Amino acid sequence: MLSPELTQLAREAGGDAILLDARRGRALVAEYSELITVLKNLRNAGFTRVIDFSGMHLGKNKHGLEEFQLYLTLRAPDHGHGGLTLKWKYPAPPVKTPEPATGTTPQPEDDGPVAPEVDPALAALGVSAHAIGAPQSGDGNGTPDTITEPEPEEVEQIDPAMVAPHPTLSRIWPAAGFCEREIWEMLGIPFSGNDNLKPLLLDEQFPGYPLRRDFESPQRGDFAAGLLQERSEAAVMRSLDYPVPEKTQATERNNNGEAGGGSA
Amino acid sequence: MLALLQNQYDFQDADTIYEVLRAWLNTEPVEGLRFTATSSNAMMLVTALIFIFLLELLLTIGIQVWERRVLGRVQSRRGPQVVGNIGPQSVRRVVLPISILLLIPALLYGLQYWFGIKLPGSMLSDLVALCTFVAFIIYVIYCFGYYWRQGLADALKIFSKEDVVPLNADRFLFTVAPILVYLPALLSWVVIPFGMAIVAGHACYYMVQDLNVGLLLIIADFALFLVAIIMSGYASNNKYALVGAMREAAMLLTYEVPMLMSLLCVALFAGSLNLTEIVQRQTMTWGILPLLPAFAIYLVISLAETNRPPFDLPEAQNELLGGYLVEYSGLRFALFYIAEYSNVFIVSAIMTVCFFGGWKGPMFLGPEGLWLTSLFWFLLKTYALIYFFIWARATMPRIRMDQIMFFSWKFLLPASVVCLGITALGVVYRHPWFNANRIGNYQAETESYQYLILPTHEVLEIITAPERAFFWGYSVVTVIFTAFILWLAWRVLFTKRKHPLPRREVTWS
Amino acid sequence: MTKLSDRRAELRRDPLLTEKIIYAVGPQHPSLPAPYMLEVQADGELIEHVRPDIGYMHRGVEQLCTKRTWAQCSGLLSRTEWLAGSNGDYLLSAAVEEIAGIEVPQRAQWLRTMVLELSRIASHLFWWGQLGLEAGAITPIFWAVREREGVIGLLEELSGHRWHHQWIVPGGVRTDVPQGFIDRVGQVLLNMEDRVHEFEEFLSDNAIWVNRSELIGVLEPEYALTNGASGPVLRGSGIVHDLRRDAPYLKYDELDVRIPVGEFGDVLDRYRIRMMEIQESTRLVRECFNHLADSGEAYRVEAPVDVPKGEAYVAVEGPRGELGLSAVSEGGPNPARLHLRGPSLYHLFLLDELCRGYLLADLFVILGSLDIMVGEVDR
């Protein structure tokens, strides 16, 4: 159970973007672009121990991108080592540029868990905030989809090559670097800024990403049949499916955000 | 009583068995078999080599099996050869008959010696001869049954292994190195006096050669060992082997010097490097009494020189996978292995010869049984020291290389120099123990020194005051030190101390 | 292939052409309990850089867990932490209970606490034997395994398995304790305490061992904190942190857990901490007996096969450190993701900093003091 001081601490560090779960101190990060800032604030607030950093494959999202959920567990030694777990999705939901003429507040695509506000109607039904992120079927009241399913909206398909790599956490917590290696080799998420992004457990020539849901284990005979290709050295050092682009909007924003102090 | 212990079998003109054999061969034992000088020499050489080789093999394999049994006992498990001539059945089948066989003549001999009850004629000597012979046969059969299966299996396994030489290894050196390691171990057995016998009214030692520089041969043997180790490490074409060999060489070198010093103390004590003479000099007092510090130093050094734990960092499996031995397999490895155990026997033998009186002890079977009793005492003392080696292996972790070096250069070397100094003082001050009770008394009439062998209390009367002061000072220190050692042993072995003794500030919180 | 001109240039610069030796310790090595590789770059014997290379024991446990039901995963998880077999079972059960909101009966909680502490004793005993072997003493491993047999025999009596118990299940424990089990536990612990005193005499009072371990492998507290150290490794450096006190689980909030904390962060401190933890665990097991009597009769409640949607991160203070399980359920009988947080992974990558400046022979002693379990490093 997260102590009140720790709750306050985390809230101050993360701002409105962090919602604390009463039971275990799990939180959601709404703005992916603010992730590094939030984490740095957390680290400076006292959460200097990274306990675990892992990931899960959720599937293909409606933009045609492979979507992952990342979990980060921290502890703060100065505050009794209370635990805090954060989770966020990668890749970040694409942020629409605000249209200054209309004056409406820019809403990011509700691709993942977004604003922490709970609709009072839903709250009356007992839907808690952290369940919002999960895709709702029907209206959350048990009514099946076929009756009240909304029309499929036009969602733009994003080219995977345009997705920014995840910024590395190893500058903030050195121990996270090894976790990133494992996430990279198991799920294929590239981390930019991690110099040591080599496979941790598998050998360099292992094809595929084992913890993805559509992973099929290489069978005996695949190598002889020529189905297992050797990865090129360049591909080994970077992700195969997400070639790291030179500059994207997200990396620009991150770099500007890190202007104060690039390394931990 | 003292007379029995003093062992009046100090013959000045004793031979070795080797010579007796040569003399016997020259007397044309078989009709028409006449030896020329060269052929008899060659025959003797071959005989000696076979004799040493077999003896060494038997005794070192015996040590090996015994070590494994002892290790198993310490580790709360059984060692090898759970079935066989080891264990409770051996007490029934071997120890009891041998003890009875030897006890009967011993009792009779004791009766004769102390109370003057004599048996008619040569019955006693015949009885002793018979009993000892039968006891020996039983013992041989027991030993034969003790380890021949295990030893034979080991030997067959090793002989049947593939001959692997690493790529780009120096083939010649790779082959020669194990031989060069084995050879000094083999040759050192030439000078060890195992005991004494009276053959045809003539005393002879169980030795091959009674070299006047026997002790020096042993020391040189270890130096040769050092060269062979470097050779083996280099020839393996393996950087780990080379590093291990360099460590080994450094360790052996540093432990040579204190070894030399402590054995020099023994030479001062006995006045000779001849091993039989060293044994003879220990009639009145054993070498351990004056040379306790030298013994302690030599004990530790012998552990290091033979690469026994806790000094086995260069050859340990955990560290760099075996050091200089890593590329050797099969017969070559067997040679290293036998050489190591052979060295263990040799240093133990040297320790008994120099410090514990060699084959001396109460000869409870009289002159007829001298051959058995002297062998018995020698082997008993040697194996007691070998037990210490095995004990050290079972109980101690490894010392790190730089700590080994530190220990030798900074502790053992100064200690051995001090020990040498004290021994020299003792010799000069005519301390009876340091001179093996062989005190020089200046005869003013003839203006020469007359050397008398006197018991300690008589010596005290004839030496001068400062010498007497040194005597009492040394004795008191020795007594206190021995008492301290005994108290320490009692405390370690018999008291149950409460733990934890927090040596560090690991606190509960 | 370097060209001749390059080689000549090198020789001109450094005629002696000294190179640093790179030792490859592992993946097969008598000192390593399980396969992993350490690439040690050393100047002769002085270690400069240690790079661990892991993955030789990777069995895809996390991927396999997604194909099995929740209860079946306990077999996989307990085989990643094989010396203290119940920790994996407990983590899984705790995760399921938290996601599904199951209330476990009191008796089960006390029994679980007792079994976890017994597993800790068993693990530390084996660690002691292994450490002796690394240091060069060949006797401790036999004694340690013999004592461990006593504890494992108890756990076998309880669960039927010696190492991988699978006795802690979601909802409670599988069976109740047999008749007279408590007395037998007390007897085994009494015998073991006597022998552990002997163990202390063997190694703790040994001047050779103290010289091998004092001020070797010193771990700075700040470095330990920021690099994911936990358990005895963290406590050796002076940080007072134990999950049993700071984030209590099971019945540790009712038990008064004393934790040993070191001062220098060297091998000797970590060694002493684990020896004291054996004593402490013995005391805790005895305290559990007192509470067992008045904790009711129920030892298990039904747990659903289909765990509802949710996530949980549960952690225990394992023998090696903070052993954690991050579990994600999307409804259904299979876990969507199970991620085991093994403390040895982080400890292994501390080696570079720990070993710098020490000799090669110290590397093995430091490894022994870190108590690396490759199952949870590689999964």
Q: Is the pLDDT of residue C98 over 50?
A: yes
Same domain, residue pair B304 and B445: no
Higher model confidence: residue B29 or residue C358? C358
At A221 the pLDDT is: 67
Asked if B198 and B318 sit in the same domain, the reply is yes
Mutate to test the interface with C, among B74, B78, B320, B398 (most CBs of C within 10 A): B398
Same domain, yes or no: B318 and B445: no
Contacts of C343 in chain A (CB under 8 A): none
* Digit-coded pLDDT (tens) for B392-410: 999 888 898 888 899 999 9
Residue C80 has pLDDT above 50, yes or no: yes
CA distance C271 to chain B (A): 10
Q: What is the pLDDT at residue C11?
A: 67
Confidence of residue A108 (pLDDT cuts 50, 70, 90): very low
Looking at the fold, whether B340 and B399 belong to one and the same domain comes out as: yes
CB contact under 8 Å between C63 and A52, yes or no, is no
My answer on whether B379 and B254 are in the same domain is yes
Alpha carbons B193 and B206: distance in angstroms, whole number:
6
Can you read off the two tokens belonging to residue A187?
């799920």
pLDDT at C332 over 80: yes
pLDDT reported for residue B349: 94
Beta carbons of B397 and C139 less than 8 Å apart:
no
Written as six digits, the tokens of A197 are: 């992004």
Residues of A in contact with C103 (CB under 8 A): none
Instruction: Flag if C209 and B397 touch (Cβ within 8 Å).
Output: yes
What is the chain A residue with the closest CA to C224?
A49
B37 within a domain of the structure (yes/no): no
Average pLDDT taken over every residue of chain C: 88
Q: Considering the domain boundaries, does residue B345 fall inside one?
A: yes
Residue A116: pLDDT band by 50, 70, 90 thresholds?
A: very low
Average pLDDT, chain B: 81
Return the residue matching tokens 């040993």. C260
Which residues, at least 6 apart from C370, have a Cβ–Cβ distance to it below 8 Å?
C233, C270, C344, C347, C348, C350, C351, C354
Query: Residue B500: which of C21, C200, C359 has the nearest Cβ?
Result: C200
Q: Residue C62 above 70 pLDDT?
A: yes
Domain annotation covers residue B106: no
Instruction: Dump pLDDT digits (tens) for A64-102.
Output: 778 888 888 888 887 777 777 877 877 766 655 444 444
Q: How many Cα atoms occupy the beta-carbon half-sphere of B345 within 13 Å?
A: 32
pLDDT reading at B315 higher than 50: yes
pLDDT surpasses 70 at B217: yes
Residue B346's pLDDT is what?
93
The yes-or-no verdict on residue C348 having pLDDT over 70 is yes
Chains interfacing with C (3 or more CB pairs < 8 Å): A, B
Which of A69-73, A248-252, B463-467, B474-478 has the least mean pLDDT? A248-252
What percent of chain B has a predicted confidence (pLDDT) above 90?
17
Q: Does residue B155 fall inside a structural domain?
A: no
Architecture of the CATH domain C19-378 = Orthogonal Bundle (1.10)
Q: Is the pLDDT of residue B327 over 90?
A: no
Distance CA C68, CA C66 (A): 6
Report the gap between the CA of B6 and the closest CA in chain C (Å): 41
Indicate the residue of B77, B498, B503 with minimum beta-carbon distance to C142: B77
Query: Closest residue of C to A52, CA-based?
Result: C341
- Same structural domain for residues B195 and B337? yes
* Residue C80 contacts residue C341 (beta carbons within 8 Å): no
Q: pLDDT value at position B501?
A: 46
Taking CB atoms and an 8 Å limit, are C228 and A199 in contact across chains? no
User: In this model, does residue C153 exceed pLDDT 70?
Assistant: yes
Give the pLDDT score at B17.
Answer: 76
Query: Is residue B102 pLDDT above 60, yes or no?
Result: yes
Asked whether B and C share 3 or more beta-carbon pairs under 8 angstroms, the answer is: yes
A215-219, B424-428, C324-328 — which one is most confidently predicted on average?
C324-328
Q: Do chains A and B touch (3 or more CB pairs under 8 A)?
A: no
Residue C42: pLDDT over 70 = yes
Q: What percent of chain A has pLDDT over 90?
A: 1
The answer to whether the CB atoms of A26 and C54 lie below 8 A apart is: no
Q: Are residues B201 and B230 in the same domain?
A: yes
Q: Domain check: are B222 and B266 in the same one?
A: yes
Segment (H or E) for C123: helix C106-135
pLDDT for B180 equals 92
| Predicted confidence (pLDDT) per residue in A132-142, tens digit | 444 444 444 54
The residue out of B417, B448, B480 marking a domain boundary is B417
C246 with A56: Cβ contact below 8 A: no
- Residue of A77, A173, A200 lying closest to C239 (CB–CB): A77
Q: Measured between beta carbons, which residues in chain B are less than 8 angstroms from residue C138?
A: 71, 75, 309, 393-394
Which tops the pLDDT comparison, C307 or B321?
Answer: C307
Give CA–CA dist B150/B222, Å, rounded.
Answer: 29
Q: CB-based contacts of B310: which residues, under 8 Å, 6+ apart?
A: B303, B392, B396, B397, B398, B399, C136, C208
Radius of gyration in angstroms for the set of CA atoms belonging to chain C, rounded to a whole number: 22
Nearest C-alpha neighbor of C96 from the set C279, C314, C356, C249: C314
B132 and B365 in contact (C-beta within 8 Å)?
yes
Taking the CA of residue C211 and the nearest CA in chain A, the distance in Å comes to 31
> For position C267, what pLDDT does the model report?
92
Parallel, antiparallel or unpaired: strands A26-28 and A82-90? parallel
pLDDT in tens, B57-100: 878 877 888 888 888 888 888 777 666 555 556 666 777 878 88
Quick one: pLDDT at residue B468? 84
Under the banding of pLDDT at 50, 70 and 90, the label for residue C151 is very high
pLDDT value, residue A157:
73
For A226, B66, B145, B147, the CA distances from B86, given in Å and listed in that order, are: 62, 10, 9, 9
pLDDT of residue C344: 93
Its domain, for residue B330, covers 2-13+164-417
A129 to chain C, closest Cα gap in Å: 13
Taking alpha carbons only, the member of C263, C132, C275, C265 closest to residue C203 is: C132
Residue B501, in any domain of the structure: no
Query: Which residues of C are less than 8 Å from A87 in CB distance?
Result: 311
Read off the pTM: 0.82
Residues C304-312: what's their mean pLDDT?
Answer: 86
Contacts of B293 (CB under 8 A, 6+ apart): B415, B418, B419, B422
Based on the domain organization, do B211 and B344 belong to the same domain?
A: yes
Q: Is C128 on the interface with B (CB under 8 A)?
A: no
Calculate what percentage of chain A has a pLDDT beyond 70. Answer: 43
**Which amino acid is present at B209?**
Q
Total structural domains within chain B: 2
End-to-end alpha carbon distance in chain B: 66
Q: What are the chain B neighbours of C204 within 8 Å (beta carbons)? A: 499-501, 503
Considering the domain boundaries, does residue B44 fall inside one?
Answer: no
Tens of pLDDT along B412-450? 999 999 999 988 988 888 787 777 777 777 777 877 777
Is A46's pLDDT higher than 60? yes
B365 lies in the same domain as B485? no
pLDDT band at A255 (very low <50, low <70, confident <90, very high): low
Residue B319 β-bridge partners: none
Alpha-carbon span B103 to B96, nearest angstrom = 10
Contact between chains at B506 and C202 (C-beta distance less than 8 A): no
The answer to the question of residue B117 being in a domain is no
> What residues contact residue B111 under an 8 Å CB cut-off, 6+ apart?
B117
User: Do B383 and B343 belong to one domain?
Assistant: yes
Q: What is the mean pLDDT of chain A?
A: 64
User: Cβ A175–C226 below 8 Å, yes or no?
Assistant: yes
CA distance to partner chain A, nearest, from residue C337 (Å): 6
Q: What is the mean pLDDT of residues A13-37?
A: 52
Q: Is residue A248 very low, low, confident or very high in pLDDT (cuts 50, 70, 90)? A: very low
Give the pLDDT band of residue B478 (cuts 50, 70, 90). Answer: confident
* Assigned domain for B57 exists: no
Q: Answer yes or no: do B266 and B353 share one domain.
A: yes
Q: What is the pLDDT of residue B326?
A: 81
Residue B31 has a pLDDT of 64
ipTM above 0.95? no
Among B384, B417, B450, where does a domain finish?
B417
Instruction: Assign B141 a pLDDT band (cuts: 50, 70, 90).
Output: confident
Looking at A243-252, B46-55, B494-503, C49-58, which range is the least confident one?
A: A243-252
